[in-house]
Structure 1
């Protein structure tokens, strides 16, 4: 069975494709040439399963999405007290490139440009050369993505040729002894950080690394401490979407970070990372279609951190029984997106050729909307592949058994699927 999750992500993209508001970032010539119709989404579970739809192979510069990850690296290398000496943790209420500092002359948070420039100067030590700092950042971002990443030299040069505002911020930071390096070198290193090339799959994996307590879920590489990830996600939740952060947390409800190339990243702690790409930006500098896609994903998948019914499904497959003609997969616990994803992933690995397959949900107290949708689509695809399908549902938990093709999942009694085979799970 082929998992339906990429199809589901494709439907999200189609739902927002006609949103044509906003403009590309015209103040950076290289970004002004971006194709405004590009659209992509990717998701990575905490178990390292990556799904995508749309223009997922299209690369773009990471821009400000780099900021929380560099902040996390500074926390990892130096600790909170040393990082807090140069940057605060509070929302600014101002534009991301505002020429202002806090009352103590520190940037108010690490996700506005002034704060990001200050944090960049901590990486590899304050006495590091630009070349060594850039090499350290390249190595770090490549570990996060699980592949070798490179800098888009054209974007970097374009930004440096129009860097007057960032240079002004760097001179202001240097004036108050927040940074020690030459202002031009500071901006050069920061611009390199923002010009690293990624695609949405890279961002989803990077985001899932934060969700996973610092362990890269695909490679298994332990990159950051769990406390570092917690602090980073906390700052993202209040500052990641600039002066749209309050609306974002109310409507979407997950820590997030945007970039002016059109990338948008969100993290559901303990579960998954999500990323979108669409170059048209709103007045806050956030991707118009990306924001709308995240609203749909949050509503449909139950991602909002403040949701009162956001119960996490863990170990959703209790056991599997089978003989030559039948297979029963016994499920358990609340079925949300993460649980449904794990079930569908396991089903792909089972040998179910020409078998009668039943999902036993007698130990499932509830399914949220996307969990129900994913399970039903998985059953439909099993039937499409030649299997007879059914659900064992004595309590009527699956309230809507209609499939996407208009047919209905048959009900079965447990006795109909009585198997004397060996339980293959602990």
Structure 2
């Protein structure tokens, strides 16, 4: 492994360590002063980690339910039942586990409190569909394939759900809800993070219908009718605290880069364009500044999108990295890498991808063309062939993605 790749891995590790939810949850709990019994519900990719930290800090809870992604439960938590379910498309286990959470909060008293721990991925994992599960999966698949951003997806999904758009908080009443949120959406819009199960919904029916029209969604009459039914616009039993965001992830990447001798430049913490365009742009930045005698680290955080034009395997971070390879071709001591903070990029076991000045030539020798590979959305196999996959395993957090371009 090259020294540059080792440097990249060090920055990745330090960045993710800085945004793990344990300390963030403990910090948020300093404002938690329940009167009676405490029930815990946690949903999202970081749900197990958040619940584990919360129970450790509190000592115990009355009862609890965790719903997280497959292979994300890392052990038992006292008095808490842990379930794994489908992501990014909800499955039968998503529906069943959410049913357990609804049973948990049914019939509570005014002096009870539901500690609701929410993180990215909750839109798929925490779900009680008001249409058939099959149609909900189909609509989610249509939105993913169309390149719809997360806000657009959640505007649709919350209207098809019995728990999203504030409806879970309604189910908890008359009990109080103290919600700790690990943000995975740019700008931290509470009603959009995991589709806002405990937040009044600010989106409108008109917006939902416009999105359905924009992406030519195929909807049943029942689904069309639900898009025209308004969601809760006020909730009086909820207190919410945001902890963790992509800003912290970018700041951590900058700090780690600086510690390794690079001058960090945070370009943005709200990256939201096509993955391959972002990669090409970062590659161009490297090409401009390479060879100027400075060690520079350009950092971009956010969440890009991928339009599916092929049938390959990959994710937005792998596609971003691979798209930077042509601009880096032949350059020494320069690289671009991009990772998802949750450790999973798209439907793969990789967190993201790494490329440097030798990547494009190595791919060519392996009989692969960068542009044809991107057209087939097959970044995973291309990067795998040149040891460019970044594998971290599930990290226990989820605060968007960070891409870094290193220039020496």
TM range (shorter): under 0.3
Q: Provide the TM-score with structure 2 as the length reference.
A: 0.27
Q: Give the number of the structure whose alpha-carbon radius of gyration is greater.
A: 1
More strand per residue: 1 or 2? 2
